[in-house]
A and B are shown apart, each in its own frame.
Chain A
């Protein structure tokens, strides 16, 4: 009952005209960046952070969440019409979606992904609303050792368990943690890894790293292979609407996709890739028309798209209740909270219920807005793909530098931005994931603080981590998650066979 009351309160906040405007801007921007190849929601939120830090926190966070959801909707458009998934979460959608588009059924493919996203988003957001308060009650009892163990789990799963290469993921993570060490140690005032450069005393800015890796790095990467043939847009032929049979074949995959997406997104394992591929292979097995798979089966679009959106709502569960980001976008959103001095976690639910519940309520509104924006306006979004790439990326770089200069106009900060950009380029080139680095930079200092707090309480005895059942279990999970991919390289093979 409490949850319903809080949620109603939240709707009171989210339905204020100014919040609705923020939400609309968010979903609009989110869809746009989801459609444009190469720019994802993480990058967009990172670019907006410096511009929004003087605005209303609740409004800005609602906008960020709108971008996150919108990006998930928009990504399917590119995947289906270009066979060029905008982000890894829509890889599975592209498999069948592009085949459907080539067979002249692009309309129904877009429709089933939009409506599927809507259904999944709605169910998953309800899940978020009811799971969050319960988790908050559990989290209140967490000691620093539990938080530390939880962060270790997040480190391992984000970098090692679900990537293509655990070694490259862990390398990315450790570079992030190393960058997190730079600056003044908060507990003692000791300067670390600053090498006498005063600008480094404040540490490495999360936004600088994120914008450098995502925006500048992506621009370099796209430019470096620009002489490849540009992708061709497949025009939508025939009706946009789904036939009765399409509906019949879509609803079950939507629900199954949601069932995969939400829990996996909510676990500190993160990512939308795993649930989308799980959903894809499940639909392939359960489909009544198995010979259609590979030629454009609607189930193969409906399921993964639903899983994709449900996992986005899922990642908000650990983010809001524990302050634990499990995807790149969630990591940047955490930075968004922090720039207003807000720390997501159980305390935030107690101290700022209006903000938290307003944000959750706004997700329902965002979903409704998105399905309205996406179905009739699909033509507009497709036209967005016609923006010349040189201007698109030139604009992205202008925005990146603008953001950095707005926060901190020093040449040292700019040099960092471009250095990270070049690192991001090299990482893309040699297939190192960039998200673990951002997670490492954000979570690294937090994990260190929790560890040292735990050891202060135990007077320096590290056994405290293993004596508490909560942290001991979590560390056990982290250990298994770390060793598992090395022990059985089966996951990679499974992934490869889906291509």
Chain B
């Protein structure tokens, strides 16, 4: 199915990459045009960004050409549920750290969600393993390396 559409029309992934590259080029070029500091001799901080902009534009256009020719390699079907589990765990981690929930709980979630995404069915067991692992790492960092990882109410009990 995907193979046929890939051959008939334009290759969608290649088109998307091309558009993204052009957007990136526009951002870099715009940013360089807004800069105020210049150099008195030699070239200033804007020269290389403009070169990079040109490179990104060329690569973006080349992707359009590729899209109408061979396209990007056709990937295998992906297990989106697995990806969602892992991404969910990581999103929880960011939220947990940002809101002051502490390192241990965040790590427990990442461990359990990743293991679940990779196909294990023992969420609670994995969460406990992750919890112990997180607490262990936290304490090693705090006591041995004298480096305090993000702390929440739980971690403060141990300090």
Contacts and interface: CB of A to CB of B under 8 A. Distances in A.
Given A190-B35, A226-B79, A405 B43 contact: no
Given A181-B48, A388-B120, A390-B119, A190 B37 contact: yes
Contact of B114 (A189, A390, A418): A390
Most buried by B among A187, A394, A398: A394
Contacts of A219: 86, 114
Interface in B96-126: 97-98, 103, 106-107, 110-112, 114-120, 126
Interface residues of B, number: 72
B42 interface: yes
Given A193-B31, A401-B93, A456-B41, A390 B118 contact: yes
Contacts of A483: none
A291 B98 CA distance: 63
Interface string A430-443: 11000000000000
Chain B residues touching A, majority SS: helix
Given A223-B86, A430-B72, A456 B24 contact: no
Contact of A178 (B43, B52, B76): B52
Contacts of A415: 94
Given A178-B24, A414-B97, A429 B45 contact: no
Interface in A221-260: 222-228
Interface in A416-465: 418, 421-422, 425, 429-431, 448, 451-453, 455-456, 459-460
Nearest to B35: A190
Given A178-B56, A192-B49, A393-B114, A405 B37 contact: no
A224 B82 contact: yes
B154 interface: no
Contact of B86 (A195, A220, A406): A220
Contacts of B133: 395, 398
A497 interface: no
Contacts of B115: 390-391, 393-394
B128 interface: no
A443 to B, nearest CB: 13
B35 A409 contact: no
Nearest to B79: A224
B119 to A, nearest CB: 6
B94 A411 contact: yes
B19 interface: no
Interface residues of A, number: 61
B10 interface: no
Nearest to A402: B137
B147 A406 contact: yes
A430 B75 contact: yes
Interface string B18-58: 00010010011001100111110111110111001001100
Interface stretch (A168-176, A348-356, A367-375): A168-176
A226 B85 CA distance: 13
Contact of A223 (B56, B63, B79, B91): B79
Interface string B62-86: 1100100000110111111011011
Most buried by B among A54, A177, A189, A224: A224
Interface string A155-199: 000000000000110110011011001000101111011010000
A171 B118 contact: no
A389 interface: yes
B126 A394 contact: yes
A193 B28 contact: yes
B149 A431 contact: no
B94 A414 contact: yes
A397 interface: yes
B42 A456 contact: yes
Contact of A193 (B27, B42, B114): B27
Given A174-B59, A175-B24, A181 B86 contact: no
Nearest to B65: A167
A51 interface: yes
A430 B120 CA distance: 27
B63 A409 contact: no
A394 B111 contact: yes
20 contacts: A54-B145, A167-B66, A170-B55, A174-B52, A178-B24, A190-B36, A228-B76, A389-B119, A390-B116, A393-B114, A397-B86, A398-B137, A401-B93, A401-B107, A405-B150, A409-B149, A421-B90, A425-B83, A451-B48, A460-B41
